[in-house]
């Protein structure tokens, strides 16, 4: 498996989260323990989502003490949590190294999806997205991506801070699907993404089948071609958002590097190599890309590729001027695409009341930090819960570029 950076934050030991079962067995051997101790570690790190080595009670006390001295679990802390009446929940997770990322839980009738971020910030600079406003800070390790899923699982089971708001209308649900559609471009973080996918699928890991995993890309062509050779039955979602280079250059700067005459053949190759139907994501923006002629151009662009179109009415971002399309425009666009024989869906509205689009919660917390850090913390639907210690534990300044540079959030605010 591709290499993973297990370097911990200063003062911590080797981070076990992100290691495979085989690597954990090798770690156990280096400690002078039998292989089955490594398999036990995999079970407790991934299946039980242990937050502390002291929780691993089947391990002898001497082993747990040694783990406390030499290893780390990379457990995150929930810095902010926001819920919608439909059960959608967005988390701002503080990572042990000091950065913070957003993760979303989306309930469905059949289970629940976790939307995972792959980077801190984003370099893609899409014109309608909040994630790229502060630029890219760094890529996440596989273990940090795994921790996003585990943090949600702990919350659903009630195995988190007792002051955290409880899930709204999600009783009995579990994480059944993963979508790597949060902040960042996953295919720019290819090796860590691939390691995360394999841990997510493994029976000793998260136990989520490949067919229940979706990876989204803004159109990173080398990564699409590379992923096509991996023989992984995951779903690839490609963010198009425009049917021609001129408009896509404006909305998605990545198109200047990988224009449509490179992206579409790569998509065709992926569909042919994997046998899996692609999803073409298309955010509809009022009077920008939602007209009938745009729909007809889209049909011509993707005709013949095994795939379907997922239409997404824009979730507005305060920093950008774009607006949601009228419902009639969405319906007309969908009818044109469907009439050409291309399967089309309109994304179900979820989480619009809680800054559910990428980067929105992080920026809201930053902009209102002095106030929100002292808010009443009752679990009110749609409200913003902020950890009692405020925001000082998470390095959040990357998301708010002010005229005089980055803003630091002191620990006492």
Residues annotated as part of the active site = 102, 358
Closest CA to 154 of 35, 49, 293, 28: 49
Residue 294 vs residues 217, 247, 321: alpha-carbon distances, Å: 21, 10, 20
CA distance 294 to 242: 8
CA distance 312 to 240: 11
Q: Write out the H or E segment, with its range, that includes residue 231.
A: none
DSSP 291: S
For every residue of 3-37, DSSP letters joined together read ------STT--EE-TT--HHHHHHHHHHTT--HHH
Contacts of 7 (CB under 8 A, 6+ apart): 15
CA distance 148 to 410: 25
Contact criterion met (CB below 8 Å) for 131 and 90: no
CA distance 160 to 179: 23
Residue 270 vs residues 205, 228, 297, 394, 413: alpha-carbon distances, Å: 26, 5, 22, 38, 49
Q: Return the half-sphere exposure (C-beta side, CA atoms, 13 A cut-off) of residue 131.
A: 27
């Amino acid at each position: 498996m591709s290499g993973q950076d297990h370097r911990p934050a200063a003062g911590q030991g080797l981070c076990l989260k992100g290691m495979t079962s085989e690597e954990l067995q090798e770690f156990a051997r280096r400690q002078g323990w039998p292989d089955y101790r490594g398999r036990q570690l995999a079970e407790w790190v991934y299946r039980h989502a242990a937050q502390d080595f002291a929780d691993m009670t089947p391990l002898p006390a001497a082993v747990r003490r040694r783990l406390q001295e030499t290893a780390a679990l990379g457990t995150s802390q929930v810095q902010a949590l926001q819920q919608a009446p439909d059960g959608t929940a967005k988390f701002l997770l503080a990572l042990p190294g000091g950065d913070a990322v957003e993760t979303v839980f989306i309930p469905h009738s059949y289970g629940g999806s976790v939307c995972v971020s792959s980077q801190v910030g984003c370099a893609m600079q899409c014109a309608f997205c909040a994630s790229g406003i502060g630029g890219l800070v760094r890529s996440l390790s596989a273990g940090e991506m795994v921790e996003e899923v585990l943090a949600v699982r702990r919350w659903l089971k009630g195995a988190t801070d007792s002051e955290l708001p409880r899930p709204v209308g999600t009783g009995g649900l579990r994480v059944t699907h993963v979508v790597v559609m949060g902040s960042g471009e996953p295919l720019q973080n290819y090796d860590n993404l691939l390691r995360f996918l394999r841990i997510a699928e493994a029976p000793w890991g998260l136990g989520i089948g490949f067919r229940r995993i979706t990876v989204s890309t803004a159109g990173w062509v080398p990564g699409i071609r590379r992923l096509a050779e991996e023989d992984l039955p995951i779903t690839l979602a490609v963010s198009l958002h425009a049917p021609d280079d001129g408009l896509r250059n404006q909305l998605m700067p990545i198109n200047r590097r990988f224009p449509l005459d490179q992206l579409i053949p790569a998509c065709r190759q992926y569909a042919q190599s994997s046998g899996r139907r692609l999803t073409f994501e298309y955010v509809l923006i009022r009077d920008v890309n939602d007209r009938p002629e745009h729909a007809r151009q889209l049909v011509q662009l993707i005709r013949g590729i095994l795939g379907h179109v997922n239409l997404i009415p824009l979730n507005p971002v305060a920093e950008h001027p774009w607006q949601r399309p009228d419902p009639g425009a969405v319906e007309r666009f969908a009818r044109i695409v469907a009439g050409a024989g291309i399967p089309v869906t309109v994304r179900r509205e979820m989480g619009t009341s809680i800054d559910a689009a990428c980067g929105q919660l992080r920026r809201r917390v930053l902009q209102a930090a002095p106030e929100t850090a002292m808010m009443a913390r009752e679990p009110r639907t749609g409200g913003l819960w902020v950890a009692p210690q405020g925001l000082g534990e998470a390095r959040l300044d990357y998301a708010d570029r002010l005229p005089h540079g980055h803003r630091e959030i002191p620990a006492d605010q």
